[in-house]
Amino acid sequence: MIGLAAVLLMATLGRIAGISGIVGGLTTADGNAERGWRLAFLLGLIGTPAVIGLFMPALMHSDFTVSLPLVILAGVVVGIGTTLGNGCTSGHGVCGTARLSMRSLLATMTFMSTGVATTFLVRHILGGAP
């Protein structure tokens, strides 16, 4: 479904389905037409899982293993990192890699590596969560 969504957005609007880019572009988008499709995408992204959850509450899990201050810190780091790096899991990991973009391939290897390394550090060295 994630792949189909990316293909649908490209086929209809000619756009990359990169979430960080779609959100970030809200500030720099020129004109209402540019802002409109971004807001519509985000409305679907937020609203549709909310509606599905009404019928399938078992899917609505959001279990954090780190403390609230660390969650906020992670949010800030993800925001800065995806803006500097021009993309996240969807833009680089799915869309960019599917286009065989060298930038995205390297980006994906980089965030997978630091993601695995951070999880290792938190779980096995600092001994936070099981």
Q: How far is the CB of 38 from other proteins (least distance, A)?
A: 8
Least gap, CB of 124 to other proteins (angstroms): 6
Tell how far CA 42 is from the center of its chain.
Answer: 12
Instruction: Name the minimum Å distance from CB 55 to other proteins.
Output: 12
Q: Give the C-alpha separation, 68 to 81, whole Å.
A: 20
d(CA 127, CA 1): 36
3-state DSSP helix/strand/coil % of the chain, to nearest 5: 75, 0, 25
Q: Which pair of structure tokens corresponds to residue 114?
A: 């630091």
